[in-house]
Each structure stands twice: as structure tokens, then as C-alpha cells.
Amino acid sequence: MIGRAVSGRGGAAAGVLLALRAPVERLLTLALRRVARRRPDVFERLGEAGDVTFVVAPTDFPVAFRLRPCGGSGVVQVIRPGDGTPRAARISGPLLTLLALFDGRCDADSAFFSRRIRIDGDTRAVVALHNTLEAAELTLADLLGVGAPFRDRLNASLAAALDRLRPAGAQA
């Protein structure tokens, strides 16, 4: 559904999202840094991969995201999907699959071998990122900084909403 919402209007949608990127970048960067403060172990586990640049490029969304973890000084940027700025690795696939990978609702190995996601560049850095996320057991609520009393309810609501957005018969 997300792909259908932007198809045919990708240029216009990308323009709007890129015009609004400053607040989105601030929110995502603050969320990344919040996780770094609360869970420094997550960033320590990345090792050398914590200082590389990843591009996460949803194939059904008009923008991509450049991520440099770097612990407490990490940065997330909104970019054009074809941005050629150097990066260590690029991870691409449907937005809902990428979100499901983040919070563990989708098996990364299965998504890779079934070609639902594609990896280009430094595979070792991507494996380090995958292993780190898997061990950290982060959720979308963690990124949003939602505390324990509301976290479970928000995670359930977000998961249900994402499941409703997924086209019939599609896997996360």
C-alpha cells in the first residue's frame, strides 16, 4: 500500500519529503542518539561498523536514509534514493520489510535469501549491524523514546498498523 501511495507521484512525494527533511533528520538523529545514551552496549557491539555509513533505501518509498551510527554522535539524513555519496553499504527493500527487520518481526537471513532485501557494499558491516540489532532487541517504541508503561501497547499498535498496511499475501 505504501508503494501504491507514492507510485506515479514519486517525484512530487520525494520533493515534499526532501523539503521537510530537516525536521525528520532532527527527529531521527535525536532518536538514534537517545538509543546510544540509553543502550551504549548496542553501539559498542557494532565495533568498526559503528563508524561507517549505511544507506537504507526503501524500494517503494521516494526517499532513502543515510545512517552513520557513531554512538552518541550518530546522524541520520534523508537523501534521494540514487544519491551517489560514498557509503560502506546499501540495504534496500520494501519499507515494511525494512521496518520489520529493525524490530525483529522479519528474519534477515530469510529476507536476504528470498531477495526481498538487497545488500550492496561491505557485507561485513551489514552483518555487524544485523547482529547488533538482533542482540539489542530494539523496537520502534525504543526509537521513539517511549518508556516502559506505554512501550508494549505502542509496539503492539505499531505492529498491527504495519500489518494492515502490508498487501495481502506479502510477507514482512
Cβ contacts of 25-28, under 8 Å, gap ≥ 24: 25/75, 25/76, 25/77, 25/78, 28/65, 28/76, 28/78
pLDDT in tens, 47-80: 999 999 999 999 999 999 999 999 889 999 999 9
Answer yes or no: is pLDDT of 87 > 60.
yes
Mean per-residue pLDDT of the chain: 84
Higher pLDDT, 163 or 101: 101
Report the pLDDT value the prediction gives residue 35, as an integer from 0 to 100: 86
- Residue 136: which of 36, 19, 15 has the closest Cα? 36
Model confidence band, residue 167 (pLDDT cutoffs 50, 70, 90): low
Q: What is the largest CA-CA distance in the chain?
A: 43
Report the pLDDT value the prediction gives residue 158, as an integer from 0 to 100: 75
Rama region for 121: left / alpha / beta (φ>0; ψ in -120 to 50; rest): left
Higher pLDDT, 151 or 31: 31
Answer yes or no: is pLDDT of 2 > 50.
no
Answer yes or no: is pLDDT of 134 > 50.
yes
**Which domains does the chain possess?**
2-165 (3.30.1050.10)
Report the pLDDT value the prediction gives residue 159, as an integer from 0 to 100: 75
Report the pLDDT value the prediction gives residue 135, as an integer from 0 to 100: 84
DSSP string over 77-94 = EEE-TT-----SEEEEE-
Model confidence band, residue 5 (pLDDT cutoffs 50, 70, 90): very low
pLDDT in tens, 106-128: 888 889 899 999 999 999 999 99
Model confidence band, residue 164 (pLDDT cutoffs 50, 70, 90): confident
